[in-house]
Amino acid sequence: MSDFDDSNTNDRGGMPLDLALARAVKDLPREIAPSRDLWAGIERRIMDEPQRTPRTWRVDWMPFAVAASLVIASLSLMINVTGFGRDDQKFVSYDRSLDNMQAEYIRVRNPLVQQFNKTNENLDPAVLEDLYRNIEIMEQARRDIEEQLRKNPDNARLVEMLMRVHEQELELLKRDYTQPTHSM
């Protein structure tokens, strides 16, 4: 007795059923003419159905757009009038935040200063003097902004300026000036 299951075969020479079915479908004629004319029934069914007119998107969405505009306008009015989202209580004082920012900045800056000195030690003394003068200008600007920020802790522009000065100074320290630059 074999492990092959004979339930999938038909009487045509032991051929599997799916292969016999595929051959039978292949032997069918390509076109089969209907026994009667079907177009009369199709036309009658089309005429019985009411014809729908296409609608434009503007008509369908206009009430939703007006409702959305009113909701947005009322929410923005509510936020501006009630001060929703403003934090009158400060969790951490700006002085402590500024101190944390300075500590993190110094932690990142000090290794970059050492790397900068080591990488660029072979530069011309005049070029090095210019670089150190630029670094000192940025340090002075950073100190001035920090002083103003301590006087005006709510000034977001000062915080933004301080962050920008930090970024510029760190970029200056990361750069290797011994390598030629490619400029246009």
Going residue by residue through the chain, which has 184 residues, state the pLDDT in tens, using 9 for 90 and above. 444 444 555 455 667 899 999 998 888 888 888 888 888 888 888 888 877 766 655 556 667 777 888 888 888 877 777 765 555 444 344 556 778 888 888 888 888 888 888 888 888 888 888 888 888 888 888 889 888 888 888 888 888 888 888 888 888 888 777 777 655 4
- Identify the pLDDT of residue 89: 45
- Identify the pLDDT of residue 4: 45
- Identify the pLDDT of residue 96: 67
Contact yes or no for 179/142 (Cβ under 8 A) = no
- Identify the pLDDT of residue 57: 54
Residue in this structure with the two tokens 């103003």, named with its chain if needed: 148
Contact yes or no for 10/17 (Cβ under 8 A) = yes
- Identify the pLDDT of residue 12: 56
Residue in this structure with the two tokens 């900068």, named with its chain if needed: 116
CA distance 73 to 79: 10
Contact yes or no for 173/116 (Cβ under 8 A) = yes
Contact yes or no for 131/177 (Cβ under 8 A) = yes
CA distance 91 to 85: 14
Rounded to the nearest 10°, the torsion over CA 163, 167, 172, 174 is 140
Cα–chain center distance at 154? 30
Contact yes or no for 56/47 (Cβ under 8 A) = no
- Identify the pLDDT of residue 175: 79
Contacts of 102 (CB under 8 A, 6+ apart): 146
Beta-bridge partners for 9 = 16
Cα–chain center distance at 6? 59
* CB count in 10 Å sphere of residue 13: 7
- Identify the pLDDT of residue 1: 42
CA distance 15 to 6: 10
Q: What are the two backbone dihedrals, phi and then psi, of residue 91, each rounded to the nearest 5 degrees?
A: -70, -45
